[in-house]
Amino acid sequence: MPGLPSVFKARVNSGPNYGVWTQVGYRYGVNDQGAYQEYTERGPGALVDQDMQNFFIPNGWTCDVTSEKAGFKLLVARAGWFGNPGVTDWANELAGNIWEMEPSRTDKSLLDADFPFGTLNMNIEPIGNCLGSAGSRQAIRAALDDSNPIWGDAGGGVFGVVLSNMTCYVFDDGSEPPYAPTVAEDGYTYFSCPSADAQIAFTLYKIMHSGVTSFPVSSRTIKHTQLFSSQYETLVSYANVDRVISSASMVNVEGANDFDPAVWTVPQYNPPVNYVASPGDLQYGWLKETPEVSRISNCKWRTVNRYQFGLWLTQLYGQVL
């Protein structure tokens, strides 16, 4: 009919004899292609062609015309229910694009922890024959497994721990050779650890000996959700799955700048002070999980990408992107 908008809802009519009814010839609903609207019109062929050319086709409706007897025609015009004003084809649909931050807590071993605000951080650099933080951790584990470890002066004012099997860990920076280890003349086997770790290692030992082996740390997950109809062409983001992504790349590569910066931002983190085998092999970042794809109501689809924040080993996950 002349004056039809590109997308319209059914006009509700009422009268004293007919009650309430919707506009004649108008249908709407949901099918496998999503929500739709359909308008049918039967009349003289010239009028039907005029309505189709002047109102439906310019507004993106798909039209089928059937010729009937006596010069009459049947017009069936169809369009999607959603779209931008004046645009009804599904190719112009905009997918829902939602970025969220989900806080969480996770347990971390005391010996593997990096304490950014505490004082129980052990040294990382080996000094001479000193084993570095690896030796300090080894001393703590060995003391926890021993029935009667003795902590205290290991001689010459050097702090250490002596085990029942005559193994001795001394915190002297390797200044009293030959600690490589070497079995000394008195029958003890010596290992050298950083002198700065002495009280830290003893404190961690006392804490763990009392039964506390881990502590909760704050963690977070970034979740990216997209909602779209079955007619919307999109690609699920499998790129960089199982890779660790830096905060900068979360914005530049993964497109996390679509969220409102006034609400939350992707945090930046300093490199950790500890490492496993070589400096820099532990890195903070966001581990990208395999995306979730699901069908939801109203014939729509949902994809969810999750990025778990953590301290990751580059030998396992590769260099941070």
Least confident of 9-18, 31-40, 57-66, 116-125: 9-18
Tell me, yes or no, whether 302 and 167 share the same domain: no
Tell me, yes or no, whether 303 and 233 share the same domain: yes
The string of pLDDT tens digits covering residues 40-72 is 888 899 988 988 888 888 877 888 999 998 899
Angle (CA) 302-10-54 rounded to 5° is 95
Residue 201, domain member (yes or no): no
> Residue 176 sits in which domain range?
126-193
Number of domains in the chain: 3
Q: Confidence class of residue 258 from pLDDT cuts 50, 70 and 90?
A: low
Tell me, yes or no, whether 73 and 100 share the same domain: no
Q: Confidence class of residue 196 from pLDDT cuts 50, 70 and 90?
A: confident
Exposure of 94 in the CB half-sphere (CA atoms within 13 A)? 7
What is the average pLDDT value for the chain, to the nearest integer?
78
Question: The pTM is what?
Answer: 0.58
Tell me, yes or no, whether 223 and 313 share the same domain: yes
Q: Is the peptide bond before 178 cis (omega within 30 degrees of 0)?
A: yes
pLDDT of residue 89: 45
C-alpha closest to that of 237 among 285, 290, 287, 286:
290
